Each structure stands twice: as C-alpha cells, then as structure tokens.
Structure 1
C-alpha cells in the first residue's frame, strides 16, 4: 500500500532541491495569500456582476442580499485564512505555480482544460447565465474535494501536487490535467495545505468547520441568481 504522506514528503524534498527559486517566502506567505485570494475574489465578483440581469429580485431574501452575505463571508474567510497561515509551522516549502505559455503543449493543454470546464458549465446555465455558471463548477468541485479531504486529506493534497507542480510534464494531456486541477480544486488545496501542518485533531476540526462554511457559502452564491 502506498504511503501517501511519505510520497508527499519525498515530492517536496525533491522539488525543493531542484526549484530553490520557485518557492514562496514563508514569512510573507500570509500577505501573498491575502493578495492572491482577493484577486480571485474580485474575478468572481466580476463574473457575478456580468450576469446581474439574472439575479433574483422577487425572493426573500433577494439576490442582492445573498450577494452581500456572500461578500461578507468571503472576506471573513480570506482574512481568517491569511491570519492562519501566519501561524502554521510551514515545515515544507510552498511551491509556486509556473506557467510557460511559450510551450506549445502547455498552451494547448490550457485551452483544452478551459474548453472542458466551459462545456461542463453549460449544464448549469438553467440556473444562471454564463460566465457565472463557471463559478458553479468551481464551487461544486471544490466542495467535493473539501469533503473528501475530511477522509483522505493527504491523498487529495498529493494528487493536486503531482498534477500541478510536477516538473516532468511534457504532453498536452499532462498540461490539460494541470489546469483542470487548478480550476476545480486549487481553493481547497491551499486551505488543506495549511491545515495539514497543524496537529491532527485541530486539523480535522478546522477542516470540518471549513466544509460546513463552504457548503453554506455555495448556497449563498446560488441564491444570488433566479434559478
């Protein structure tokens, strides 16, 4: 049976040796997370506002009230998570994402991953218009990985890292999986990555709290639209 934790440790040890300049400064990590998560959050808001015409107006609460709750919860989560990263042990390196769009296979892989996600998101257009339907995909699949992480935490982290940070990626399929993994599970990965450094019971407690909050957060997002 594969020891996932040992494999993950081995992956990080090897990755640290060959990519010394490709890791985050641990002291500034909380600021980096704070910045990056706000960039993602504002991108989400842009997608939501593009489809403002499909917001719920007749319900109680209305779409605007759901949006206010969504924004409030998002900000609280971002700030709390950034503070948490200030105090996690950080025994392992934090590898940066790398994007080399001079590589033809990576460009094709990125485009294929985007196409796959867009096509799947069309199944949600009965509930909301595109491109907000793309966000449904993000919430749904990250939610699946959030709950799986309660049971197979190390495996979820390992699978993401192998697909995204592995440097021996050459084929179009390798890069397609890389960008699909980033799109559908990166939010969960970064939360679980920090929680994995905490003592077991605290890890599981916070992971459970995160799973519950994520579930309600998804409902707040869905409530914005007149489905």
Structure 2
C-alpha cells in the first residue's frame, strides 16, 4: 500500500531541514562572490529539492514494522543535554574553522557536515545495514552516562543526514537502493560544489 499523507509529511519535514541548510549559506550573503553565486545557490537548493521529492515518493511505501524504538526526541530528552550542548559547540567550532580561511563561519559548518555525510554515503553503498545499525546503536543506546551521551550526539552531528536517507532507501529492492544511493552521493557532490562556489572568487 502507498500513503500519500506519509509522503507529504516527509517532504514537508525534509524541506524544513533544507531551509535550515540554506540559511547557513544565506547568513553569510555579504561574503558571496559576484560571479554567479546566485546561480550556485539556486543549484544547491534545486538538486537537493529534486532528491527530496524522490525520497518523499519512496517514503510513502508501507514497510514491515521492525522493533519499536522510542523517538529521537524522547531519547534526547532522557540524555544529558549539557553534553549535547558541549559536543555541538566543540564540533561546530571545529567544523567551522577547518574552512575558515576560505569559507566564513557558520557556512563552513554546513560544507564540512555534507562532506562527512558523503563519506558515510560511500560506505553505505557497500554496507548500508551496518552503517544504519552503527548509528542506531550509538543514538538509541539506553545506557546512561557521559560516554554514551557523548557518542550519541557525535553520531547525530556527523552522520544524521546519511542515516535518514539510508533509512528511506532501505525500503527499496537491492538494485534500486544502490542506484539511489549513488544519486544521493552525486547530489551531495553537487551541493558541496555549489556551496563552495558561492564563496570562491
């Protein structure tokens, strides 16, 4: 069976994330170059939106229910929020200053985030189930303590995008899953290139 409501909800939720990503580029608009940066930004949004539409269509297909798991929101509320703030602060500064010489902060956070997720996307072509389970074992681990909370937030900050995409692609047959996995990597490459060209002179 197919659920248009689920597909529509996924598309709307995904576009909220896309707006957030876009805002990380728009916030540094005064630093954009004058040689087609508007076109680069448009392509960044366009390629991402096209892929989100494909994902939303896939998401509408019903799948067998697996083990029930508490929501991410519930998991985070039960974790140590202070650790989360610390991890976010450290990683955002680290990600930001990696490219700070050429890309202003906080736009540099987005670019490094996409690059790291692209690495996980490549790994997912070969071992999609392992990548998914590795993420879930860190994020949804019910063990309490500083170390589990630390790895929980690290996993979210470095590979959450790839995880969400791979969870949707897992609904597809093997061949289609791999094909769209390659498309996802190409979209990430185009998005990274587009984001970089916004600032490069």
TM-score range, shorter chain: 0.7 to 0.9
Number of residue pairs aligned between Structure 1 and Structure 2: 197
1:178 lines up with 2:152 in the alignment: yes
Q: What is the TM-score when the length of structure 1 is the normalising length?
A: 0.78
1:45 lines up with 2:22 in the alignment: yes
Counterpart contact for 1:34–1:82, Cα < 8 Å: yes
User: What's 1:126 paired with?
Assistant: 101
1:180 to 1:109, Cα distance in 2 relative to 1, 3 A: same
1:71 is displaced (CA, Å) by 1.4
Counterparts of 1:215 and 1:174, CA distance in 2: 32
State the secondary structure of the residue aligned to 2:80: helix
User: What's 1:193 paired with?
Assistant: 167
State the secondary structure of the residue aligned to 1:154: helix
1:90 is displaced (CA, Å) by 4.5
User: What's 2:11 paired with?
Assistant: 34
Mark the runs of 5 or more structure 2 residues left unpaired by the alignment: none
Tell me the alpha carbon deviations over residues 160-197 of structure 1, each in whole angstroms, 9 at most, x when there is no partner.
Answer: 1111122x231122122212211221111111112222
Counterparts of 2:17 and 2:194, CA distance in 1: 17
Cα RMSD of the aligned pairs, angstroms, is 2.2
User: What's 2:132 paired with?
Assistant: 157
State the secondary structure of the residue aligned to 1:145: helix
Q: Using the TM superposition, name which of 30-39 and 138-147 deviates more.
A: 30-39
User: What's 1:148 paired with?
Assistant: 123
Q: What is the TM-score when the length of structure 2 is the normalising length?
A: 0.87
Q: Using the TM superposition, name which of 143-152 and 113-122 deviates more.
A: 113-122
User: What's 1:205 paired with?
Assistant: 179
User: What's 1:68 paired with?
Assistant: 42
Counterparts of 2:15 and 2:77, CA distance in 1: 28
1:31 is displaced (CA, Å) by 3.1
Tell me the alpha carbon deviations over residues 122-159 of structure 1, each in whole angstroms, 9 at most, x when there is no partner.
Answer: 11111211111110121111111011101111110001
